[in-house]
């Protein structure tokens, strides 16, 4: 149900006599659940709309005929009810977080509406038959689906949910009705890897290109796993074997359907794939091709700088900058640092890989660094290099909330500056190009 809060002047809603306080109950006889119904029918030309007046005394069915680009013209109260996760996955990262962090970090959403609108991953284990039909009817495409395995009994075991085995039928029906899907598998050693993973990839590839790709990511393991199912971490040999399996599958398929997370290449000590491998980088926020894209943007950004001193771009005044990164990106950043120092006159860039003491040293990506760990690492660097003054410190924007300067540990950027007694901390939220922009200016 949508409760109308505003009727736009000279709109279709105004012509129909709708008023603030009226409630839209259904479109085409289907119950109206949330904003998705409005968005779908707002783009339709012919449909019915069931409305209850603001006094709750009368319901009418309005027959609507409009141009496709003509809006209905009313606003409504936004609902904030999020479908939550009912699984107890053996690899769940939320279950491995320490207590006392902000409440939002413990919310496990499993909402197909947010998958469609925001790209959140869903398991579909809480999906009713009515909801599945609604996805198909409203053409909610694409969806981002955590498949993990197409073996029903194994999926029930990994997700610890008796409804998890329905995924095979759900994928089939969504694909047959043209719902595009971006799929992922969190790969648990000795469970859904090896031949089990190959089986999953082959089953999903049956629906290519409606199933766009299968991303595979290693299990995130923190130090807070007491009482949880033991899961081994992946090492160099394991990662090499897994990447060989992926290469073999993609050769079999004839397309780069299976896309491994960057972490596998780091641990395997293998070169990153080229940008062409990832196509449109559909799962970059899942750590799939992020390093490749960042590296390529960075080198292109350097190449595009105007040359004002021989063959180098020159800063207005020299500066020494400290680039903070996670352990897994240490080698990549070492290469970027060397290239930056060679390309920009007056720049001395130093990379500082930070070990993750907050979650445990098995967590190595930059995006999960906390303020407390970065503070400790920077203070140690300053103590060990008392004569090496730093003009600016550069942080990756992925270490903070999207629209707030708050780290995972709860520390704010302002607090970090205060504890370091250092104001010139610059945050890069624009990828490789953004880093070049920061390095080539005196902040």
pLDDT bracket for residue 80 (50, 70, 90): low
pLDDT cut 70: percent of the chain above it: 99
Do strands 143-146 and 181-187 pair parallel, antiparallel, or not at all (unpaired)? Answer: parallel
Return the DSSP state at 306.
Answer: P
Which tops the pLDDT comparison, 20 or 56?
Answer: 20
**Over 70: is that where the pLDDT of 298 sits?**
yes
**What's the pLDDT band for 155 if we cut at 50, 70, 90?**
very high
Residue 419 has a CB neighbour count (10 Å cut-off) of 14
* CA–CA distance, 218 with 234 (Å, rounded to integer): 8
What's the confidence (pLDDT) of residue 310?
A: 66
Residue 401 is predicted with a pLDDT of 81
Percent of all residues in the chain with a pLDDT value above 90, rounded to a whole number? 85
Helix (H) or strand (E) holding 296: helix 290-303
Instruction: Indicate if the pLDDT at residue 312 is higher than 70.
Output: yes
Q: Under DSSP, is residue 323 helix (H, G, I), strand (E, B) or coil?
A: strand
Name the residue with higher pLDDT: 102 or 97.
Answer: 97
Report the alpha-carbon distance of residue 220 to residue 142 in Å, rounded.
26
Distance (Å, whole) CA 82 – CA 117: 13
Whether 110 shows a pLDDT value over 80: the answer reads yes
pLDDT tens, position by position, 238-275: 999 999 999 999 999 999 999 999 999 999 999 999 99
The whole-chain average pLDDT of the chain stands at 94
b/e per residue 254-286 (b: at least 16 CB within 10 A): eebbbbbbbbbbbbbeeebbeeeebeeebbbeb
Residue 125 CA to residue 92 CA, distance in Å, equals 15
Using a CB cutoff of 8 Å and minimum separation of 24, what contacts does 314-318 make? 314/344, 314/345, 314/346, 315/344, 315/345, 315/346, 315/347, 315/440, 315/441, 315/442, 316/442, 317/346, 317/442, 318/346, 318/347, 318/348
134, 212, 256, 275, 367 from 280: Cα distances, Å: 28, 11, 12, 9, 21
The pair of structure tokens assigned to 158 is 């990994």
pLDDT at 81 over 80: no
Work out the average pLDDT over 17-28: 94
Residue range 46-75: average pLDDT? 93
Does residue 311 register a pLDDT over 80? no
Average pLDDT rounded to a whole number, residues 82-88:
89
Round to whole Å and give the CA distance between 258 and 213: 6
CB 267 within 8 A of CB 291: no
pLDDT band at 309 (very low <50, low <70, confident <90, very high): low
Closest among 111, 122, 3, 109 to 51, alpha carbons compared: 3
Q: Is 356 left (phi over 0), alpha (psi -120 to 50) or beta?
A: beta
Selection from 30-44, 225-239, 251-265 with the highest mean pLDDT: 251-265
Which two three-digit tokens encode residue 128? 């009713």
Segment of 43-57, 154-168, 296-310 carrying the highest mean pLDDT: 154-168
């Amino acid at each position: 149900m949508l409760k109308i809060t505003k009727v736009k002047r000279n709109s279709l809603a105004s012509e129909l006599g709708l008023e603030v306080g009226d409630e839209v109950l259904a479109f085409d006889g289907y119950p109206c659940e949330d904003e998705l119904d409005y968005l779908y029918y707002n783009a339709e030309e012919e449909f019915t709309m069931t409305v209850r007046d603001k006094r709750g005394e009368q319901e009418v069915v309005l027959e609507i005929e409009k141009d496709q680009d003509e809006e209905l013209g009313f606003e409504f109260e936004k609902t904030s009810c999020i479908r939550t996760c009912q699984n107890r996955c053996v690899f769940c990262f939320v279950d491995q977080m320490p207590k006392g962090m902000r409440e939002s970090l413990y919310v496990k959403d499993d909402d197909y509406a947010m998958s469609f609108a925001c790209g959140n991953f869903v398991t579909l284990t809480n999906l009713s038959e009515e909801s599945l039909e609604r996805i198909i009817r409203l053409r909610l495409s694409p969806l981002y689906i955590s498949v993990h395995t197409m073996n029903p009994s194994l999926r029930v075991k990994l997700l610890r949910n008796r409804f998890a085995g329905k995924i095979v039928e759900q994928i089939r029906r969504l694909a047959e009705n043209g719902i595009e899907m971006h799929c992922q598998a969190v790969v648990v050693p000795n469970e859904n890897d090896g031949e089990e993973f190959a089986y999953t990839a082959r089953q999903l590839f049956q629906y290519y290109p409606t199933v766009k790709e299968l991303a595979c990511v290693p299990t995130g393991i923190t130090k807070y796993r007491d009482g949880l199912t033991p899961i081994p971490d992946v090492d160099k040999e394991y990662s090499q074997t897994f990447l060989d399996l992926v290469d073999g599958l993609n050769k079999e398929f004839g397309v780069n359907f299976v896309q491994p997370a960057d972490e596998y290449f780091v641990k395997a000590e293998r070169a990153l794939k080229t940008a062409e491998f990832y196509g449109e980088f559909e799962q970059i926020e899942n750590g799939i091709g992020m390093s490749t894209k960042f590296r390529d943007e960075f080198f292109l950004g350097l190449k595009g700088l105007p040359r004002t001193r021989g063959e180098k771009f020159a800063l207005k005044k020299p500066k020494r900058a400290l680039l903070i990164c996670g352990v897994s990106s240490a080698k990549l950043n070492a290469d970027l640092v060397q290239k930056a120092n060679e390309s920009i006159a007056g720049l001395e860039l130093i990379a500082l890989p930070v070990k993750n003491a907050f979650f445990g040293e098995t967590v190595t990506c930059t995006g999960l660094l906390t303020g407390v760990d970065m503070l400790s690492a920077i203070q140690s660097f300053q103590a060990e290099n008392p004569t090496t003054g730093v003009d600016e410190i550069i942080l990756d924007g992925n270490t903070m909330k999207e629209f707030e300067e708050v780290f995972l540990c709860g520390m704010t950027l302002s607090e970090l500056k205060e504890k370091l007694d250092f104001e010139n901390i610059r945050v890069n939220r624009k990828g490789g190009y953004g880093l070049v922009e920061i390095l080539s200016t005196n902040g």
